Structure 1
Amino acid sequence: MSTVVSFRIAELKDSEEILRALRSLAKSIGIPRRLKSTREDIETAGFGPRREFTVMLAEANGGIAGICLYFPMFSTWMGKPGLYIQDLFVHEECRSARIGEKLLRYVAWTAQNQGYHYLRLTVDHGNHAGARFYLRHGFQPAKDETMYRLDGAAFEEFCSGN
C-alpha cells in the first residue's frame, strides 16, 4: 500500500517543526552541535520581511514527514537561475515510502514551473547515505569547483578590513 503524500509551503506556524527536522538531520549525520539555528532564526529568516529561504513540507499520515529548505541562486556560467537545496530531510519513520524522492521531485517540478533551470546542493562529508541518495537520482559531484567558506571570527575580521 502506497503512502499518500501532500506538499505545501511552510508557514510561520511550522517553524518549530522545521527546527525539529533540522535537529534530527544534524543528529542523524553525527553533527548535532553544528546546528546553531534557533526557532527565532527560522522565524526571522524564513518568514520575516526579507525571506531568505523557502521550506517545502511533505505531509503524510497526519503529520510532517519531511522538509526541503531552499533558496534561489544564479549561475553566471549558465546564465540561468536555479535553486540551492540547503537541507532535505525525511523523518526516520517515513523513509521507506520514498518521501525524500517525492519531495525533491516536487520541489524540482515547482522550480521548473517558476522558471528555474537547475538544482544545486552540497552533501556533508560524513553523510554517505545522502550522497548515495543524490547519486541514485542523477546528481553528480562537481569536479570543476570546490566550495569555500568564510565565517565566524574570520568573517568578522575580513569585514573590518584587518
Structure 2
Amino acid sequence: MPDSHAIRLRPAVPADVPAILELIRGLAEYERLAHEMVATAADLEAALFGPRPAAEVVLAECDGHVAGFALFFVSFSTFLGRPGLYLEDLFVRPDFRGRGIGRRLMTRLAALAVERGYGRFEWSVLDWNRPAIDFYRSLGARPMDGWTVQRVDGEALRALAARAGG
C-alpha cells in the first residue's frame, strides 16, 4: 500500500455502484447492522444517478483501489434559512485505515458545504462507536445534546401514511 500522498478523492459515477454497494455492506457489518442492509445495485443507481438524485458520493481511492466513501445529501435548516450537508455514511475499509482517508473525506465535504453556501455540516454517530466519536471531536464536531433521532419505517411508516386521508 502506498502512503497518503497517493490518495485520490473523486465524485462517484454510475460504474462505481458495485463498489459503493460493497462499501455499504462493509459499513453495515462494522455497525452490527448487516441484517438491515437490503439496498441493491438498482436502488443505488436510481437514488444516486437517476433523474432526481437523492444523494451524492465521494470515493477515496488508494493505489487504484476504492478505499472508502462518504455518502451525503442536502438537508435544510429553517432557523438558518439555508441548506446544509448531511453525511449519511462515512466508511474506510479496514486495510486502508490510519492513512488519513477519513479526514480527507470529511474535509472535502466541509469544503463542498462552504463552496455551496450551506449553513451546516451534520451527521449522526452510534453512541457505542468511541473511535468515530473521538475522530469527529478531533475535527471540531460537537454533540447535539438534548436531541434524539426519531424514525418511522416499515409497517409503522405505511400505517402513518394511511392516516393521511385525502
Note whether the superposition's TM-score is higher than 0.5: yes
Q: Which residue in the other structure is 1:17 paired with?
A: 19
Is the partner of 1:30 in helix, strand or coil?
coil
Distance 2:29 2:38 in 1: 13
Structure 2 residue matching 1:36: 3-state secondary structure:
coil
1:55 aligns with 2:57: yes
- Residue 75 of structure 1 is matched in structure 2 by 77
- Name the CA distance, whole Å, in 2 between partners of 1:66 and 1:2: 13
Q: Is the 8 A contact 2:91 2:102 kept in 1?
A: yes
* Cα distance in 1 for residues equivalent to 2:67 and 2:149: 30
Distance 2:146 2:7 in 1: 37
- Partner residue of 1:161? 163
For 2:125 and 2:106, the matched residues in 1 are separated by: 15
Q: Report the Cα distance in structure 1 between the residues aligned to 2:94 and 2:46, rounded to whole angstroms.
A: 28
Q: Which residue of 2 aligns with 1:104?
A: 106
Contact 1:29 1:126 in 2 (8 A): no
Output the TM-score relative to the length of structure 1: 0.93
Number of residue pairs aligned between Structure 1 and Structure 2: 162
For residues 28 and 2 of structure 1, do their structure 2 counterparts lie closer, same or farther at Cα, with a shift above 3 Å needed? same
Q: 1:101 to 1:118 in 2, by over 3 A?
A: same
Q: What does residue range 8-157 of structure 1 map to in structure 2 within 5 Å? A: 8-157=10-159
1:79 CA displacement? 2.1
Could you tell me which runs of 5 or more consecutive residues in structure 2 were left unpaired when the two chains were aligned: none
Q: Shift in Å at residue 2 of structure 1?
A: 3.7
Give the 3-state SS of the residue equivalent to 1:143 in structure 2.
coil
Partner letter of residue 141 of structure 2? F
- CA offset at residue 127 of structure 1? 2.5
Aligned-pair identity (%): 35
Separation (CA, whole Å) in 2 of partners of 1:65 and 1:2 = 12
TM superposition score normalised by structure 2 = 0.91
Identify the range of structure 1 (124-133 vs 83-92) with the bigger mean alpha-carbon deviation.
124-133
